Structures are given as structure tokens and as C-alpha cells.
Structure 1
């Protein structure tokens, strides 16, 4: 997949979900926007989980843990460049490695992700498990 296709297919979703890694709890508006974008992309919960674990977490967890991290808002252009570069390389052993370590890269935002998925399920009329 080329970079432009990645941006076209995932860019809006990636930028909408990025606030899960900021140094503040997402507010009601943040969650509402995330749910709205997720609904437009018509992805299953399973697909969303893997986007969270493989496409976003490896890039955003590094930002979250860096000393010079972006804490209040991301520079969307720089973030998109990093996400595209990561996802262009996300094949073969890299994909398997990130899948293996995804528990570590998602643990700091898992509670926010769970809250978001609960809201998505409610929006879709699905019963929480």
C-alpha cells in the first residue's frame, strides 16, 4: 500500500484516535468525535483493536514516553508522517514483533481505549461483554 492510500484510508481515523495518548483524559467531545469517526469507517471491533495495537500504539507510545513529548496536542502533519512511515514498514517480522509487544505499548492507554470501545458498542446498539 502506498503512502497516499494509507492517508486516505486511515488518516482521519488515526488523527481522531491520537488524543488517547495525550497527557490528559479525553473529554466528552473527544470521545464523541472518536465515535463519530469510527462509525464513518465502518470497522469491526476486532479491526479497531488491531489498528490500536499495531498501527497507532507503536508510534504514539514512543511519543508518550519521551521526555520531550507532545503533551497537550499533536502536530498533525508530523504525527501523520510518523504514522505513515511506521505503517509502510509494518510487514512480516515487524508486524509480528509489534503484535507480540502490543500489550506493553497499549498499557498506558488501555483504560481510555476500553472506555472508547464501550461508547462505540453503545452507539452501535451492541451489548457490552
Structure 2
């Protein structure tokens, strides 16, 4: 997969989910937008979980931990460049390493992710877990 394919297939979804890592709790409008974008991409909950763990969390956690990070909003262009770069290298041992450490990279946003997944399940008419 090349950079343009990643942007076309995942870009909108990645940018919609980025507020999970901001220094504020997502509001109702944020969650509604995230659910809307997720539903447009027709991914299963399992696929969403792995995207959260492997595609987003490694990049977003590094950004969150940086001293000079942006905390109120992201520069979408820079963020997309980082996400694409990470995901182009996400093969073999790198993929396995990130899977192994995904509990650490997701722990700061897990509560927000769980809230989002509950909302996705409600939107799909499923029982929240």
C-alpha cells in the first residue's frame, strides 16, 4: 500500500479519532462526529480496535508525550504525515512489537475509546460491552 492509498482509505477516520488524544475530554459533538465517520467506513469492532492499537496509538502517544505537543487541536497536515509514515513501516517485526506494547500506548485514552465503542454499538443497535 502506498501513501495515497493510506490517506484515501484511513485519513478521514484517523483525523476524526485524533481528538481522543487531546488534552480535553471529547464533547458530544466530537463523539457524534467520530461515530458518523466510523459508520461510513463500515469496520467491525475488532478491526477498529486493531486500528486504534497499531495505526493510531503509537503515533498519537508519542505526540501526547512530547513537551512541545499541541494540546488543544492538531495540525492535520503534520499529523497525517506522521500517521502515513508510521503505517507505511508497520510490517513484520514492527507490527508485532506495537501489538505487544499496545496496552501501554493505549492506556491514557482507553476510557475515551471505550466510551466511543459503546456509542458505536448503540448506533449499530448492539448491546454495549
TM-score (norm 2): 0.99
Moved over 3 A (4+): none
User: Is 1:15 the equivalent of 2:15?
Assistant: yes
In the TM superposition, what are the counterparts of 1:55-94 in structure 2 within 5 Å? Answer: 55-94=55-94
Measured in 1, the distance between the counterparts of 2:65 and 2:80 equals 18
SS at match of 1:64: helix
What aligned pairs does 1:44-123 form with structure 2 within 5 A after superposition?
44-123=44-123
Match of 2:6 in 1: 6
Partners in 2 of 1:36 and 1:117 — Cα distance? Answer: 12
Task: Provide Cα deviations, 1:7-54, integer angstroms capped at 9, x if missing partner.
Answer: 000000000000000000000000000000000000000000000000
Q: CA RMSD in A?
A: 0.4
Instruction: Quote the offset at 1:128 in angstroms.
Output: 1.7
Q: Secondary structure at the match of 2:126?
A: coil
3-state secondary structure, aligned to 1:128: coil
| Unaligned residue ranges in structure 1 (runs of 5+) | none
Work out the number of aligned pairs and report it: 129
Structure-2 separation of matches of 1:66 and 1:104: 16
